[in-house]
Structure 1
C-alpha cells in the first residue's frame, strides 16, 4: 500500500466527511468519510513503521577453526 494510498484515503475521507452534503438512502456519507480518514491514517502509520523497521546494520563474521570447521555469527544493531 504505502503513503500514496493512505494519503488518498485521508483526502477522500475528509471530503466525504466535511464537504459532501448529498444524502444516499441507507448510507451515512459523513460516517463513511470519517472511517476512510481513520483507515488512511492507520495505513500511513503502518507504512512508516514498516519502512523504518528495516534500518540498521548487519555484520556477519565467519571463523575457521583449526580442525577445518567454520562458525558463522551474525550481529544486528538497530538505529
Structure 2
C-alpha cells in the first residue's frame, strides 16, 4: 500500500538510487562550458549561474530559485 500524497511532495528534490538529480543538473552544464576569458568573467559567470538555476526548473517536480524575490534582489543590488 502506498503512502498518501502530501501537499508539499511537489517540492521534494527528485533522486535516483538515493543520489539527488539536482546535483547532476548543476554539474553537467558547467562541465560543457569552455574556458572563460578573464575580461568578461563577472558577466559570463553571472549569466551561467542564472542559466543553471533556470535549467533546474526543467526537472520534474522542481521549481527555479530565480522566482524568489530575495535571490533577484541579491543579484541586482551589487551589480
User: Normalising by the residue count of structure 2, what TM-score does the alignment of the two structures yield?
Assistant: 0.32
Structure whose alpha-carbon radius of gyration is higher: 1
- Structure having the higher strand fraction is 1
User: Normalising by the residue count of structure 1, what TM-score does the alignment of the two structures yield?
Assistant: 0.32
